[in-house]
Amino acid sequence: MARRAVQPETPARLRLWVAVTVLTAAALLAGLSLLMARVQNQVRVIGDRAAPQAATAADLYFALSDMDAQVARLVLTAGNDALAGSQIDALGTYQARSRQVDADLQKSLASVADKDTVLTLLDQLAVYRERVWQTLTAGSSAPGYYTQATNTMHLGLLPAAQSLRSASEERLSQAYASKQTTQAWAVTLAIVLGGALLVLLFALQVWLARRFRRVFNPALLTATVLTIALVLPAIAVLLLQGDQLRTARSESLTPFLRLSQARAVSYDAAADTSRYLVSSKLAFYDNDFKRKSACLTGDDRDTSLPVASGGPDVSPDQAGQVVTRWQAYARDHQKIVGLAASGQHDEAIGALTGIRRGDAAFDFSYYDAAVAEIADARKSAFDRSMHDASVLMRGWAVLPLVVMGLVILLVPIAVRRRLAEYR
């Protein structure tokens, strides 16, 4: 019986071949379906959770920075009827940023990992708002209360927001790494099991042709074509979406996050101009402005702050435009410092709050518009890439089940008549 089982003319060899082929197809079906579903879910996590959380944390840091800048403007223009328009604008912007901060914190609460940090931010934000209210109602004592408010911002709120942003970006990196690992396993499985299945189908076709004088077996030929039609597109889809997400991160999302941080630094630097006047020409704020300005123009490469020009953030033409506009504001800052140093306090405030070209408020808005346009374009490009990747992966969790299910049915059908000859 043992000798008969291994003899070519017995059906045992044919049954064994069919069994191995079907098991390989079943393994490919299960593995590819599960891994494709996992990749699809990980793409969704990146696009719907990890990336939005990082963007929200970056927006929170920016909004907090601008809140403090607007309070400095309010203190500087308080009691001056000629600057009532600037004061109204500063108050409106402060309220808008305050609502923006509340919305960002509400979104951040959805992350369990960030809950403690968000609660800390909410507590400190309540203290900051109390100090701001005291600042706006203190009259001649406003500069002292503003110092307390800005200390709460820079020593409490902004470091906590920085921690939140770092944590969200770390989770984003982990989400990308997890997806990359799953993608590598899926490609390897498709190559190994898909190649093995094709070899088995081809070898079975050749063996049947030699043993039973059948040149072509339509069922096996169809199964082979279906396997090729599944494996090659699956590999292509995995590699293509991986490249799309990698490019979207390096060329769109990372620049957007860095530009958001750069905008926050620029608003904080602009607020230093106001703080310099509010604090009776305290040299610390002028030096702090110069440090942040060097960071924004790319002159200080050793700083831990983000560089708004060069690298992947902006193109050379855009970088030149951004730097040129910021340098115009930096000149305004030096002009204001010079006026204040010569005792022309009212003229310094006028140069800071004026809305004509050459005034600080106009030049800063002109600079910020350029950075915002670039950042918005990068964010839109990332959103489009994520949508394209999601569309590309659509249906791939089910497709292996359908195709390999047909292959598993076709293989026994292909040998059914041959086995019937032995009955």
Predicted TM-score (pTM) of the model is 0.84
Check: CB of residue 26 under 8 Å from CB of residue 408.
yes
Q: What is the DSSP letter of 114?
A: G
CB neighbour list of residue 274: distance below 8 Å, 6 or more residues apart:
69, 72, 73, 75, 76, 352
Nearest to 186 by CA among 387, 38, 13: 38
pLDDT of residue 5: 45
Q: What is the Cα–Cα distance from 41 to 414, expressed in whole angstroms?
A: 37
State the Cα–Cα distance between residues 293 and 317, nearest whole angstrom: 19
Closest to 242 measured CA to CA, from 43, 18, 24: 43
pLDDT in 10s for each residue of the chain, 423 residues: 455 544 555 567 777 888 899 999 999 999 999 999 999 999 999 999 999 999 999 999 999 999 988 998 888 888 777 788 888 888 999 999 999 999 999 998 887 788 899 999 999 999 999 999 988 887 667 777 888 999 999 999 999 999 999 999 999 999 999 999 999 999 999 999 999 999 999 988 887 777 766 667 888 899 999 999 999 999 999 999 999 999 999 888 988 998 888 889 999 999 999 888 888 777 888 899 998 888 887 765 544 444 444 344 556 667 777 888 898 999 999 999 999 888 888 888 888 887 778 788 889 999 999 889 888 999 999 999 999 999 999 989 899 999 999 999 998 888 776 655 555
Please check whether residue 213 is in contact with residue 191, taking contact to mean a CB–CB distance below 8 angstroms: no
**In the numeric block, which tokens belong to residue 130?**
């109390």
- What pLDDT, in 10s, does the model give residues 112-124? 788 899 999 999 9
Residue 307 is classified by DSSP as P
Residue range 83-132, pLDDT digits in tens: 888 888 889 999 999 999 999 999 988 877 888 999 999 999 999 999 99
Q: Which residues pair with 357 in a beta bridge?
A: 359
**Is the Cβ–Cβ distance between 107 and 56 less than 8 Å?**
yes
Q: Given this model, what pLDDT does residue 423 score?
A: 54
Instruction: Please tell me the distance from the alpha carbon of residue 135 to that of residue 91, in angstroms, as a whole number.
Output: 13
CA distances from 228 to 132, 200, 207, 231 (A): 67, 13, 20, 5
In one-letter notation, the amino acid at residue 100 is Q
Kind plus residue range of the DSSP H or E element containing 391: helix 360-393
Interatomic CA distance for residues 98 and 78, integer angstroms: 20
Q: How many residues does the chain have?
A: 423
CA distance 245 to 239: 10
Terminal Cα distance for the chain, rounded: 17
- The region that residue 216 occupies, defined by phi over 0 for left and psi between -120 and 50 for alpha, beta otherwise, is beta
Which residues neighbour 325 within 8 Å (Cβ) at sequence distance 6 or greater?
Answer: 363, 366, 367, 370
pLDDT recorded at residue 303: 45
Chain segment 135-160, per-residue pLDDT in tens: 888 766 777 788 899 999 999 999 99
Are residues 295 and 93 in contact, defined by beta-carbon separation less than 8 angstroms?
Answer: no
Structure tokens given for 280: 């009776």
The pLDDT of residue 10: 53
In terms of Cβ atoms closer than 10 Å to its own Cβ (0-12, 13-18, 19+), residue 347 is middle
